[in-house]
Chain A
Amino acid sequence: MQRNVNIDVHHLTRVEGHGNIVVNVTDGVIEKCEWQVPEAPRFFEAMVRGRHYTEVARITSRICGICSVGHTLASVKATEAALGIEVTPQTKKLRTLLKHAENFDSHVLHVYVLVAPDLLGAQSAFALVPTHGEVVARALRLKRLGHEWGSLIGGRTTHPTTVVPGGFSKLPTVAELKALREKIVAAVPDLTATLETVAALAPAIPAFDRPTEYMAVSSDDEYGMYDGYVQTILSDGDRAKYAVADYRSCTNEYVAPQSTAKFCRNRLDSYAAGALARFNVNYDQLHPEAKKVAESLGMQPICTNPYMNSVAQVVEVVHSAYEGLRLLDELIAEGIKDEGLVAPTKYATGASAVEVPRGILFHEYTYDADGFCTGADCIIPTGQNHANIQRDFDALLPGLLASEKSEDEMRLAFEMLVRAYDPCISCSTHYVDVTFVR
């Protein structure tokens, strides 16, 4: 057993933004075991105050470059709830299709670029190019499909332009939808190869179970990506439902001393959001092909191993591909109607919930009689997962100490755990810092 451990991971890599892992054990006594989030607040809720409802989604989309489709959809939906706008069935289908594009794209990125290096013993996806070139090429082909899929429906995948309150500012043509359908069908061999890769790597996923509460959007109509109510499930199968408008009653944000981001809790002292939570809450509504994949990867609800979130993402990639095909078939059969934007019927307060790749996302806005925003609230999934990551740390460390693992192996176990949640702590800077060599 390790008696002395000192792990200090400052700015964990292959996650979005900055998070620290600090573990100190002296003479077998745990002195500190913390998931720290030192990110500075970015005040988006303040930025949208005073802005007209037509501008708000364009601003809040900037909260995240990876989940900008989800933030746009959550923002537009909350605005529509506040303004009494009921969008058409065609709009709902196209937005759900767009939501699947984002999850497909983001999950492929996370599993192949951020998680696979851990399982293959590489520092980064860059290092995989010489040894696993075909795997990297396949990842990029799938990611490109997600990108083209999102670009067609959303105008662009990063900060979409066509999704506006009341509908769409630009619609795809039936011919474009047919072409997209062909591309998704053509990707099936790459999806099959992905499953084979994940199945081969699955033994490297740590065995660690910690039951918690799982929260996701649920719907009577679908797996719960775009719309519905809030539902949670405990490891014994006990469920609870909440109206989206009452989201504060199930998120219960509070301030934790080691974090600048707020923590959340509900029926237990923490809960999980993300692909694993959706899988546990909405398993019955997974596409049959995705269920087959889950079974082949040895996964069934209620799965309580947080490292399996990455496997749940692979299951969802398959779900999104087949649900995408189903939605495309319906839209192609019905034809695309040139619908105008649905106009506001009131100006009040409205909330929304959307599933983004990392979990359930809430937006809420209040508008004055002229349509200008007077208040906003956004609760992102990574924030909701911080407390659960901390509880996982608390449960993981004693087992690691009792094992014969080295400090480096323990560090990797903690890093892999955090990366499994696919945290998106913030958008960091992207400037270039260079020296001219010629």
Chain B
Amino acid sequence: MRYLIGIGNYTGFDDSIGLRVAEVVGEAGLDVGFRAIDLGGNILDLLHYIGEDAEQVLIVDSARMGLEPGAHAFFAPDAVETRKELAGFSSHEGDLVKVLEFAAALGGPLAPITILGIEPDEIRAEVGLSATLERRMDEYVAAAVAFFGESQA
């Protein structure tokens, strides 16, 4: 199985972009040949989707990458270092990069993983998206769906 997995906080404004992309892909029936999953903030559950059963995984998440707000980029987990300063390792106080490092440390086979990071304009406690990201939603959805088309070809 191939997975598009949206991660984020639905009430975190632009932090919800990964969930919304997964939601739009699923509701529009664009998940052909892969399955769109809205994982919410329960990112430790990611471990259940990236093991040997999975052929390929695209994780869509809000990502501060130093790009212009609204810009998006595909990257492999080992292409980045996290800047998040979390002393612990929790189920909510989440750091996707740390969870993926945790999965790798367990030693089992992992599916090929790619992250589609979307640079947020604003993260705050509110339902919704900034106008910057809302305006470009079609672009993110198209990029995510094309990823699976291209990787299949």
Contacts and interface: CB of A to CB of B under 8 A. Distances in A.
A109 B86 CA distance: 18
A158 B90 contact: no
Contact of A136 (B42, B82, B106, B123): B106
Given A62-B40, A65-B42, A431-B15, A114 B7 contact: no
A432 interface: yes
Interface string B103-133: 0011100000001010010010101000000
A39 B80 CA distance: 30
Interface string A398-438: 00000000000000000000000000100111111111111
A436 B84 CA distance: 14
A428 B14 CA distance: 13
A432 B40 contact: no
B114 to A, nearest CB: 13
Question: A interface, how many residues as a size bin?
Answer: 35 or more
A123 B9 CA distance: 25
Contacts of B40: 62, 65, 68, 158-159, 427
A126 interface: yes
B37 A156 contact: yes
B29 interface: no
B15 A16 contact: no
Interface string B74-91: 010011111110111111
Interface string B57-99: 0000111111000000001001111111011111111111110
B63 A431 contact: yes
A126 B79 contact: no
Contacts of A130: 105
Interface string A11-22: 001111100000
Contacts of A435: 66, 80-81, 83
A20 to B, nearest CB: 14
B47 interface: yes
B97 A125 contact: no
Contacts of A68: 40, 42
A40 B47 CA distance: 30
A282 B28 CA distance: 46
A283 B54 CA distance: 42
A15 B43 CA distance: 14
A432 B97 contact: yes
A124 B88 contact: yes
Nearest to A434: B80
A68 B11 CA distance: 14
B10 interface: yes
Given A432-B117, A434-B65, A147 B48 contact: yes
A434 B81 contact: yes
B44 interface: yes
Nearest to B83: A433
B127 to A, nearest CB: 6
A94 interface: no
A37 to B, nearest CB: 15
Contact of B88 (A123, A136, A437): A123
A114 B90 contact: yes
A1 interface: no
A148 B51 CA distance: 14
A431 B64 contact: yes
B102 A16 contact: no
A432 B115 contact: yes
26 contacts: A13-B87, A13-B89, A62-B11, A65-B40, A65-B92, A66-B42, A113-B91, A125-B89, A126-B89, A126-B105, A133-B106, A140-B106, A424-B92, A427-B9, A427-B40, A428-B93, A428-B94, A430-B12, A430-B94, A430-B96, A432-B65, A432-B117, A433-B63, A433-B64, A433-B84, A434-B97
Given A137-B106, A433-B82, A433-B84, 10 more contacts: A65-B92, A427-B41, A431-B8, A431-B12, A431-B15, A432-B65, A432-B95, A432-B97, A434-B64, A436-B79
Interface of B: 7-12, 14-15, 37-45, 47-48, 61-66, 75, 78-84, 86-98, 101-102, 105-107, 115, 117, 120, 123, 125, 127
